[in-house]
Amino acid sequence: MTTGQEWLVDASGCSAERLKDASVLAALFEELIVLLELKVVGQPQWHVFPEPGGITGLTLLAESHLAIHTFPEHGFAALNVYCCRPRTRPDFEALLARHLGAASCRVRELPRGVGA
């Protein structure tokens, strides 16, 4: 029984400045929320680490969650999107290039559930 799908996205070659800007990450989350027709529960949480650190962000969804961890010193972001209902895969490569300046993305999709 499938209870959802999860995308693990590793974005490399990102702009260090964008990876340190919570408003940039919030705009990425907002676009994903609209594209995937997700319902936000509560307020997104952002933890900004001191220099040269990045940001950890989490948005709780009725369908599960969005999470991101950024590493500006490496030009890297790790994005996690978990939905408990099937969705069409977003164009993560285009989204992360536009929002974060990512040069490349590795996207893994995992079915979740009993026996998945």
- Tell me which residues are annotated as active site: 64, 69, 84
Where does residue 114 rank: exposed (0-12), middle (13-18), buried (19+ CB within 10 A)? exposed
Q: How many CA atoms lie within 13 A of 108 on its CB side?
A: 7
- Collapsing DSSP to helix, strand or coil, 15 comes out as coil
Residue 32 in contact with residue 113, Cβ under 8 Å? no
Q: Where are the alpha helices (DSSP H) in the chain?
A: 16-19, 22-35, 92-100
